[in-house]
């Protein structure tokens, strides 16, 4: 036996040959062991594979492992047209292969493939588990989330999912050796593959265009669930828009704003706005829900608006939209940044404005008014792990009221009913509906337990808003007061396979877009401003939305400006003698 075909070594003083026949010379490693077996260890075996072949295998993995929701929707939408579904699969596979092959280049292939696998793994978890569509606005919502909020989504099952479907496949990609052709041959080969994939996609698309176009128009949510390409595209779009928005300066709004009807009362007019989080109208007993989730508000003589729609399905959209002058159909994130909002208009009218936040921020609404982020206090009476019960808001109200000197508005931004950790949103004494889900992972709970936990959050919100009203009532001798409650968006609790919120508005179910809205007015404010509460109760049954919020806040605070539209003020038509309109028309101060 020739030593040229093997490697000499000595094991226990005995000379041995390790045969390497059949292994390419460039992959041969020296294996030399001394008497203690420690001189040189064998190289770890790594299979060799072509770059395009690796792209093909990765594409197949992405399509199979990370697109359960996508394929399920597609199969259902083709409604028994098995041939149409089959060629759709082939077309999608070809297009995906073409895109992935584009990145088949030395020093580029592995990083890109690992990136695709990890994005697909993370996105598929939220898409398959909660029905979440990772579009640009969902990316925006994720970016502005607090660490505590994001941490609630990092469950043991999510980590296991990421390990099995993201990290393990990525390690396999790292493990293999890629065999690259010489650069010109590689360029030609890759181009041929990409062109072939494009041709297959084009032929299939044109061959049954009518069917594919019809499904695309009727089911716009289909491609929105395609991982990882849609999430990556959404992130790029968000990054581009954020770069453009970085230096936007809000233009003045309502520069002519002034208070009117001031002679009607010598008391400061105070409005507290409770900005709800993730409360859906469907679970408010004030609107007829079978469970008594509003026992306290039912005793407070509030006017409830049962047919109210939100501007968006996520806080990052709804909050700046509802405070802006733009109706939902005209609102964009850019417009919200470019234009001042209702709080700025109030400030111009010399109304003192403050915002206390127990959620994830104001999304630019408070850039020019007094703002305090309460979770930063880490008050041990209310806070744990970076989040606080909404009692922390109530704790601050009396101190704020003590300092009121003139017309004022206070916004209390709730943590409310934000999921998935509903159980962490209410104290023990509000665990009325049991058994309630005590986990962040919905798989650990039954649908009834999830609903019970969510309804407990609504019960707690009922207490929070009622307590605000009670605090204002106690100061009726010194204040002409009102309270407004309106939620930013709703929530899905498993209906149609959807959980949480953030579904694109055009696809969102009513559970995410129908929100509770109510108002309370002190007797003194009703009298001094001329409100007919019977009229208001009747009008409340009409359709309302976040579009009304801007103008209704100006109306209830008696602020006059050219940008105020009485037709969108839900209170204006119910003022006796049309006092508000007369005041505006004559410019009475």
Residue 123 and residue 228 in contact, taking contact as beta carbons nearer than 8 Å = yes
pLDDT band, very low/low/confident/very high, at 563 (cuts 50, 70, 90): very high
Helix axes 51-65, 109-130, angle to 10 degrees: 10
For residues 499-523, give the mean pLDDT.
96
Chain centroid to CA 196: 39
Task: Return the pLDDT at 582.
Answer: 41
In the chain the first and final C-alpha atoms are separated, in Å, by 110
For residues 434-460, give the mean pLDDT.
96
Strands annotated E in 224-351: 258-259, 269-276, 303-304, 308-309
Q: Inform me whether the pLDDT recorded for 341 exceeds 50.
A: yes
More confident position, 583 or 377: 377
Q: Inform me whether the pLDDT recorded for 16 exceeds 70.
A: no
Residue 230 and residue 504 in contact, taking contact as beta carbons nearer than 8 Å = no
Q: Inform me whether the pLDDT recorded for 19 exceeds 80.
A: no
Q: Where are the chain's structural domains?
A: 1-41, 48-245, 267-586
pLDDT band, very low/low/confident/very high, at 581 (cuts 50, 70, 90): very low
Structure confidence by residue, pLDDT tens digits, 41-80 = 556 788 999 999 999 999 999 999 999 999 998 999 888 7
Q: Rounded to an integer, what distance in angstroms lies between the CA atom of residue 20 and that of residue 7?
A: 8
Q: Rounded to an integer, what distance in angstroms lies between the CA atom of residue 148 and that of residue 145?
A: 8
Residue 390 and residue 357 in contact, taking contact as beta carbons nearer than 8 Å = no
More confident position, 269 or 2: 269
Q: Is 84 exposed, middle or buried (0-12, 13-18, 19+ CB in 10 A)?
A: middle
Task: Return the pLDDT at 17.
Answer: 34
For residues 211-220, give the mean pLDDT.
71
Token pair of 463, please?
A: 């207490």
Q: Inform me whether the pLDDT recorded for 580 exceeds 90.
A: no
DSSP for 138-201, written as a single string = HHHHHHT--HHHHHTT--HHHHHHHIIIIIHHHHHHHHSEEEPPPHHHHHHHHHHHHHHHHHHH
Structure confidence by residue, pLDDT tens digits, 109-139 = 999 999 999 999 999 999 998 888 888 888 8
Q: How many residues are given for the chain?
A: 589
Q: Rounded to an integer, what distance in angstroms lies between the CA atom of residue 65 and that of residue 121?
A: 8
How many CB atoms are closer than 10 A to CB 5?
11
For residues 292-312, give the mean pLDDT.
98
Task: Return the pLDDT at 205.
Answer: 82
Q: What is the pTM (predicted TM-score) of this model?
A: 0.83
Q: Is 489 exposed, middle or buried (0-12, 13-18, 19+ CB in 10 A)?
A: buried
The domain 267-586: what is its CATH number? 3.40.720.10
Q: Inform me whether the pLDDT recorded for 31 exceeds 70.
A: no
Task: Return the pLDDT at 589.
Answer: 35
For residues 163-173, give the mean pLDDT.
96
Q: Is 198 exposed, middle or buried (0-12, 13-18, 19+ CB in 10 A)?
A: middle
Task: Return the pLDDT at 8.
Answer: 43
Rg (CA), the chain: 31
Q: What percent of the chain has pLDDT over 90?
A: 75
């Amino acid at each position: 036996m020739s030593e040229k075909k093997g490697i000499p070594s000595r094991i226990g003083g005995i000379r041995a040959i390790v045969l390497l026949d059949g292994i390419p010379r460039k992959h041969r490693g020296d294996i030399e062991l001394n008497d203690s077996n420690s001189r040189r260890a064998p190289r770890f075996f790594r299979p060799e594979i072509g770059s395009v072949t690796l792209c093909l295998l990765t594409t197949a993995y992405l399509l199979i492992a990370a697109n359960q929701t996508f394929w399920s929707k597609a199969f259902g939408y083709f409604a028994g047209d098995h041939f149409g579904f089959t060629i759709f699969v082939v077309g999608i596979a070809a297009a995906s292969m073409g895109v992935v092959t584009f990145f088949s280049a030395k020093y580029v292939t592995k990083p890109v493939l690992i990136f695709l696998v990890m994005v697909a793994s993370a996105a598929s978890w939220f898409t398959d588990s909660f029905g979440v569509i990772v579009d640009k606005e969902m990316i925006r919502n994720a970016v502005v989330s607090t660490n505590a909020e994001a941490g609630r989504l990092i469950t043991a099952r999510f980590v296991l999912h990421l390990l099995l479907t993201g990290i393990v496949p990525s390690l396999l990609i790292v493990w293999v050796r890629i065999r690259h052709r010489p650069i010109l041959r590689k360029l030609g080969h890759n181009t041929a593959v990409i062109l072939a994939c494009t041709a297959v996609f084009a032929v299939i698309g044109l061959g049954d265009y009518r069917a594919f176009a019809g499904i695309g128009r009727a089911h716009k949510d289909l491609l929105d669930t395609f991982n990882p390409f849609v999430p990556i595209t959404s992130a790029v779009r968000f990054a581009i828009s954020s770069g453009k928005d970085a230096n936007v300066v809000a233009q003045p709004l309502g520069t002519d704003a002034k208070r009117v009807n001031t002679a009607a009362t010598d008391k400061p007019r105070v409005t507290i706005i409770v900005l709800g989080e993730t409360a859906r109208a469907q679970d408010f007993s004030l609107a007829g829900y079978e469970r008594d989730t509003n026992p306290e508000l039912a005793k407070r003589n509030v006017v409830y608006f049962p047919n109210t729609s939100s501007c968006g399905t996520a806080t990052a959209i709804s909050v700046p939209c509802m405070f802006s002058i733009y109706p939902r159909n005209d609102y964009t994130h850019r417009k919200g940044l470019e234009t001042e909002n209702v709080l700025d208009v109030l400030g111009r009218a010399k109304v003192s404005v403050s915002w206390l936040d127990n959620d994830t921020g104001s999304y630019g609404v408070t850039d020019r008014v007094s703002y305090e982020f309460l979770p930063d206090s880490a008050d041990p009476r209310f806070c744990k792990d970076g989040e606080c019960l909404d009692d922390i808001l109530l704790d601050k109200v009396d101190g704020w009221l003590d300092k009121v000197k003139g017309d004022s508005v206070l916004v209390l931004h709730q943590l409310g009913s934000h999921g998935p950790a509903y159980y962490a949103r209410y104290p023990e004494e509000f665990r009325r509906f049991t058994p309630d889900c005590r986990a962040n992972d919905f798989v650990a709970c039954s649908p009834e337990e999830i609903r019970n936990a969510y309804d407990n959050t609504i019960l707690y919100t009922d207490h929070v808003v009622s307590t605000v009203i009670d605090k204002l009532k106690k100061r009726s001798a010194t204040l002409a007061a009102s309270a407004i409650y309106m939620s930013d968006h709703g929530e899905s609790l498993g209906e149609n396979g959807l959980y949480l919120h953030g579904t694109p508005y055009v696809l969102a179910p009513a559970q995410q877009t129908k929100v509770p809205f109510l108002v309370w007015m002190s007797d003194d404010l009703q009298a001094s401003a001329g409100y007919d509460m019977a009229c208001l109760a009747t009008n409340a049954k009409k359709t309302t939305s976040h579009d009304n919020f801007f103008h209704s806040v100006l109306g209830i605070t008696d602020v006059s400006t050219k940008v105020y539209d009485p037709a969108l003020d839900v209170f204006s038509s119910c003022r006796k003698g049309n006092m508000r309109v007369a005041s505006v028309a004559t410019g009475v101060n």
